[in-house]
Amino acid sequence: MHEWALAESVIKTAVEHAAAEKLKKLKETGVVFGELQAIDQDIFVFALEELRRQYPAAKTCRFKIINEPAAFLCKACAHKFSLKALKKTCDEAEFIHFVPEMAHTFLKCPKCQSPDFEIAAGRGVHISYIRGDK
């Protein structure tokens, strides 16, 4: 059910930003979905469609979903690597998907084998852009 709360937050943020920028009409909002975020995208999109009816400024807005792949940066050797490039079991992939911090338990830098890395991309949900008419 957190998909509904996230969808409402996205809509409210887009509407507030449009008002602050004095946009007369909100046309499109880019919503970035991190690969590591445990959200059902279909439910989120459905929630956006249903909830935006409550906000006049968002009724005609197109919400474009942008999927962002996970990327990691090794703190030991500065190597950047992706989740897809790593070998992992189905269980490990599921643990990482639901609790991204679990990546440190299961993953190591493919270059130097260090478990000391940061999640550089692919986490969370955020708005990348808002477009409208002035």
Residue pLDDT, tens place only, 95-129: 566 566 667 677 889 999 998 999 999 988 999 99
- The pTM (predicted TM-score) of the whole model is 0.79
Enter the DSSP assignment of 58.
Answer: G
CA dihedral angle for residue 97, residue 100, residue 106, residue 111, rounded to 10 degrees: 110
Please check whether residue 27 is in contact with residue 61, taking contact to mean a CB–CB distance below 8 angstroms: yes
Residue 17's pLDDT is 93
pLDDT given for residue 94 in this prediction:
61
What is the share, in percent, of the chain residues with pLDDT greater than 70? 85
The structural domains of the chain, with segments of one domain joined by +, span 2-69+122-133, 71-120
Sheet holding 80-82, edge to edge: 80-82, 71-74, 117-121
Contacts of 86 (CB under 8 A, 6+ apart): 107, 110
Quote the pLDDT of residue 114.
93
In this predicted structure, what is the pLDDT of residue 103? 72
| CATH number, domain 2-69+122-133 | 3.30.2320.50
Q: What residues in the chain have per-residue pLDDT under 70?
A: 1, 85-102, 104
Angle at alpha carbon of residue 78, lines to 77 and 83, rounded to 5°: 105
pLDDT at 2: 86
The answer to whether the CB of 118 falls within 8 A of the CB of 12 is no
